[in-house]
Amino acid sequence: MTISLTTLAGERAELSPEDLQAFKAGFRGPVLAPGDPAYDDTRQIWNAMIDRRPGLIVRCTGSVDVLQAMRFARQHRLLLSVRGGGHHIAGLAVCDGGLMIDLSPMRGVWVDAAQRIAHAQAGCTLADVDRETQQHGLAAVLGFVSQTGIAGLTVGGGFGYLTRRHGWTCDNLVSMEVVTADAQLVRASADENADLFWALRGGSGNFGIVTSFEYRLHPVGPEILGGAIAWHGDDTLQVLDAYREFSARAPRELTSVAVLRTAPPAPWLPKAVHGQPIAAIFVCHTGAIDAGEALLAPLRALGQPVADIVTRRPYTQMQALLDATQPKGRRYYWKSHYLPQVSRPLAETVAAHARRAVSPHSAILLFQIGGALNELPLAHSPAGNRDAAYVLNIAGSWEKPQDDAANMAWARECFEATRAHSTGGTYVNFLTEDDGAERVDAAYGADNLARLAALKRRFDPDNVFRHTKSVLR
Ligand SMILES: Cc1cc2nc3c(=O)[nH]c(=O)nc-3n(C[C@H](O)[C@H](O)[C@H](O)COP(=O)(O)OP(=O)(O)OC[C@H]3O[C@@H](n4cnc5c(N)ncnc54)[C@H](O)[C@@H]3O)c2cc1C
């Protein structure tokens, strides 16, 4: 059977059965065409708003498969997309008509506990890495939802409960193995291909396909003090006032996330509040347990919480605490800003918009990230944004296509109403499909963007990695 694929020029390339057979002979993983039983499952990613149909999906089992896929793409000048964990909200992992290079079967992790280093293949989820590193009481700086892919998260920056202590995820990279646009397998580190290493620490998918990451690890847990405290939505302003004071004074071992939303039917929340507005604060203290207990006591004593599940728990459990709120297959639309602080006027604005959320699954989140990342110079990596102290994410989440417009309008209105409180920066990994050049510019700032654009012309002159948030201007 002849396979028709979209090329970089937007034309159709007809691949003969012989072309396909020649490729398959050098490729170890499954190769899926439309109509194959596993094709639909594999093209579907976390955000159900994305419904694209690649011409061919190649499921890589290792670096050589990625290399072979890249050679094949070059040979036929194919449009391509790269899938790590498939969690980018804009659906960058899946292209229409082209070649989807899927790294999600590549989930090996090797830990060198003595050197405090982990090597992780690029298809890993955060949970895969935490599982292996926590066996040694170590952790990489990763994100807040354990099913997210490490690849997109790391090459876009990355923040989570350890960011206040150790900076962006990409600030903690030692090296990467990369398949380049000209189909070479290279290592990128501070000493080897240093420009490529710089570009891949925030420049997202524009510069190559990372096949594995080498992370610097830090002692964490395995038991930490963490969980969440929730109050009724009527108390939101009081809770956000307390959050402002509490988070500003908190040592870096303590990270907190404020969440405004409708209470889901979660077992940790009493039935009486299900469906009611709540304000919750998720906390994770990775220092000594008794120090954490003392630090958290005033917050836990605030007003009349409707639930409090702060306790000693495995760090891996903490890392998965928000998972149930972000299932694969719902419709999602986000807007976000970096913030220098959580001011009273900002709190009033987000509290009012949280009340007006169209869907019970939607939430407004404030992630505390200030600390180590602020101490590095802006030019350290394209992840930049060294003035950010919090991330505001207005996270629309709903089920039916007919509700798209109302939910997207809600997120956009809250975004515009909070714009004046932003640092002006934003996170490239939270940009939706309709966030264009202006928001990418905001994610990088003029100097880092100019350097990225120059490096893009050098490392990817044909713009092979174009199914991403473009840094070319
Ligand atoms: C529920 C949820 C929670 C999140 N929480 C956090 C959080 O706490 N902290 C945080 O920092 N971010 C968070 N994010 C954002 C996250 O960082 C991005 O969605 C990121 O793209 C996820 O990586 P992925 O591998 O799953 O992405 P994919 O969708 O697979 O890929 C996204 C893009 O990344 C690039 N890419 C993927 N794999 C590779 C590779 N191997 N080499 C080079 N480029 C590649 C490509 O351009 C690709 O198009 C969250 C996202 C979701 C959906």
Give the nearest ligand 1 atom to 154 CA. 17
Question: How many angstroms separate the alpha carbon of residue 428 from the centre of ligand 1?
Answer: 10
Mutate to test the pocket of ligand 1, among 148, 209, 427 (most ligand atoms within 8 A of CB): 148
- Find the mean pLDDT for residues 274-284: 98
Q: What are the structural domains of the chain? A: 3-102 (3.30.43.10), 109-219 (3.30.465.10), 223-432 (3.40.462.20)
Of the pLDDT bands very low, low, confident and very high (cuts 50, 70, 90), residue 2 is: confident
- Find the mean pLDDT for residues 258-281: 97
- Find the mean pLDDT for residues 125-130: 98
Nearest-5° Cα angle at 374, 219 to 151: 60
Enter the DSSP assignment of 16.
P
Token pair recorded at residue 438: 């202006």
Give the nearest ligand 1 atom to 88 CA. 19
Specify the pLDDT at position 1: 75
Q: What residues are in contact with ligand 1 under a 6 Å CB criterion?
A: 46, 81-89, 92-93, 103, 122, 143-145, 148-149, 151-153, 155-160, 204-205, 209-210, 326, 429, 467-468
Token pair recorded at residue 393: 């994410």
- Find the mean pLDDT for residues 278-283: 98
Specify the pLDDT at position 87: 98
Residue 84 CB partners (closer than 8 Å, separation 6+): 93, 103, 104, 122, 123, 149, 150, 151, 152
Alpha-carbon separation of residue 56 from 68, 398, 403 (angstroms) = 14, 30, 31
Specify the pLDDT at position 279: 98
- Find the mean pLDDT for residues 109-137: 98
In degrees and rounded to multiples of 5, residue 228 shows phi and psi of: -150, 155
For residues 132 and 111, the answer to whether their CB atoms sit within 8 Å is yes
Residue 270: CB atoms within 10 A of its CB come to 12
**Protein residue closest via CA to atom 33 of ligand 1:** 152
Alpha-carbon separation of residue 60 from 51, 63, 107 (angstroms) = 22, 8, 11
Specify the pLDDT at position 46: 98
Rg of the Cα atoms in the chain: 22
Q: Where are the alpha helices (DSSP H) in 265-325?
A: 289-300, 315-319
Specify the pLDDT at position 323: 97
pLDDT digits (tens, 9 = 90+) for 96-116: 999 999 999 999 999 999 999
pLDDT digits (tens, 9 = 90+) for 315-373: 999 999 999 999 999 999 999 999 999 999 999 999 999 999 999 999 999 999 999 99
Residue 21: CB atoms within 10 A of its CB come to 10
pLDDT digits (tens, 9 = 90+) for 172-217: 999 999 999 999 999 999 999 999 999 999 999 999 999 999 999 9
Question: How many angstroms separate the alpha carbon of residue 434 from the centre of ligand 1?
Answer: 17
